[in-house]
Amino acid sequence: MAMWFARSRNLVSILRQNLGLSATLIKRNHSSPRPVFTNYQLSSRVFLDPSTSFRHESTAVETQPDLVQQSDHEDDAQELDFPGGKVGYTSEMKFIPESSSRRIPCYRVLNEHGKIISDSDFIPVSEKLAVRMYEQMATLQVMDHIFYEAQRQGRISFYLTSVGEEAINIASAAALSPEDVVLPQYREPGVLLWRGFTLEEFANQCFGNKADYGKGRQMPIHYGSNQHNYFTVSSPIATQLPQAAGVGYALKMEKKNACAVTFIGDGGTSEGDFHAGLNFAAVMEAPVVFICRNNGWAISTHISEQFRSDGIVVKGQAYGIRSIRVDGNDALAVYSAVRSAREMAVTEQRPVLIEAMTYRVGHHSTSDDSTKYREADEIQYWKMSRNPVNRFKKWVEDNGWWSEEDESKLRSSTRKQLLQAIQAAEKWEKQPLTELFNDVYDVKTKNLEEQEVGLKALVEKQPQDYPTGFHI
């Protein structure tokens, strides 16, 4: 092997002398050396930026060393020109390590007691904004509790909570512009709540009544609102990511001062659409903010069975996307990271990936019992000791912006409004049967007309098999 490398070096030298390959083998300019590959050494506030991307510059990002330590051999001063750009070469066989010896640190502002960590780098929030953020986080908690109980009572068929992830919902929404287009997964109702979707509108969707914008054809919690730039939730996992790349690219072509924002869980990163979405956005330089809620569980599958990499944040760099890992239970950190990411996406026309570290305290949905695959003590620990709502509440209270009296009034009022919304939603008629067949085609096809006639006949023949309020 050593002899082979020696002969290779001699051959390169001869070729350079005889063929003048200066266009292929280029001496490095040592006054501006290419970044040396080393292990990550990130501060808690820094975005990962691939050294191979020179299309953009940002004052919000510090230059970071890369993964692989290059050797000091003489030949390392050379570069090869390939279609993808110039790249150095080495005569030493060395593989990129499967992961760094040190995990990417997690950006955080508030400690577990709601105190600002000294020397924290974050975007300040006003009293008005902070109070509204806390009010919405508390409202989301109450909403989850009431609707969950309504499902257990048989009043709605399905529900899914955001318990433990309220900070990601509300803080990310607060950091965005109303013009930004949101493509959610299914655990982001707080984003829609922040944008003005009312408790009555949530209730109407969950009951699938005549006031439901989806005409009763979606599962409960599959909210959507054109008015609030919030795409309708759909069950297939990760399909919203390639769509977000397209939406972001469209906003770019229209020169809009806005970006696409899409959410996904850690389990969704195992889908091909996750990788396609990131790659599309990176190559097309689309202004998209990808937010991954790494909450530890994809239904009953633990993250240790999902991937061997250091979480999600490192996947962004593989696709040439600036990335950051943030404490998803810290509302101030989430707000600062999303607002900064949004600014970069819009002003620099580039995608950004955010991995929000959190924990799914609730069951995956009302169809799940998470105590079958994880310890009840673990759930209780995250619910009480690592609660994102309590942490932010302590900070707001310490600033003198919130009191126990405010707390009692808010939760009592929200509970009353929700119960009234549910009672009103129950009294609405259901969508007529014909809505099952509308909006599929501009003009109904023959087979759809036949199915409609057949279903009507079945309902008339066996009305006892259909719920009260169901009508043709």
- Catalytic residue ranges: 149, 235, 364-365
Judge whether 421 and 201 are in contact, CB under 8 Å: no
Q: How far is CA 338 from CA 83, 291, 295, 304, 331, in A?
A: 34, 9, 18, 26, 11
DSSP type of residue 334: H
Closest Cα partner for 290 from 263, 259, 258, 327? 263
Determine the Cα–Cα distance for residues 363 and 371; give it in Å rounded to an integer: 8
CB 260 within 8 Å of CB 231: no
Q: How many secondary structure helices (H) and strands (E) does the chain include?
A: 13, 10
Listed residue (108, 105, 74) closest to 88, CA to CA: 74
Residue 118 φ/ψ, nearest 5 degrees: -55, 145
> Are 66 and 9 a contacting pair, CB within 8 Å?
no
Name the β-bridge partners of 352: 289, 322
451, 438 Cβ separation under 8 angstroms: no
How many Å apart are CA 308 and CA 311, to the nearest integer? 8
